[in-house]
Amino acid sequence: MLLKAGVDISRLRPEIRKKLNAINQVYVQIGESEMVVTSTYEGNHSPGSLHYANLAIDLRLPANYKRVARAIQTVLGSDYDVVIETSHIHIEYDPKGGERNGTNTSGNRN
């Protein structure tokens, strides 16, 4: 796993941080180049984005991004959203019950 210059994973909440190795393993198993985290909380994201709650990451698009995204979704399960964006794969922890630490939320991406 590589980090783009300026990216800080130290503030990521355990719900997303503990999944980084599993996500990286998807890249390895599919034979893609190493996973690159391009954004966590830093950068410009939509208001209310889960990036600002330290519950989202963006990854550089690999060559076989559709296959990688599907495999990541399978590994992470339904509490995570894996979204192919124009320039990256967005991954966020967003339980479908709408509950995150006892608070109802509606997760916005980016």
Tokens matching residue 4: 């783009």
Chain centre distance of CA 65:
13
Q: Classify residue 21 as exposed, middle or buried by CB count within 10 Å of its CB (0-12, 13-18, 19+).
A: exposed
Tokens standing for residue 53 = 């709650």
Query: How much is the pLDDT for 108?
Result: 46
**pLDDT (tens digit, 9 = 90+) per residue, 28-73?**
999 998 899 999 998 888 888 999 999 999 999 999 999 999 999 9
CATH topology for 2-104 is: Muramoyl-pentapeptide Carboxypeptidase; domain 2 (3.30.1380)
pLDDT digits (tens, 9 = 90+) for 97-107: 655 543 333 34
pLDDT of the residue at 103: 35
Q: Which pLDDT score is estimated for 29?
A: 95
- The token pair that represents 61 in the structure block: 């698009």
- Give the 3-state secondary structure percentages of the chain, helix then strand then coil, rounded to 5: 25, 25, 50
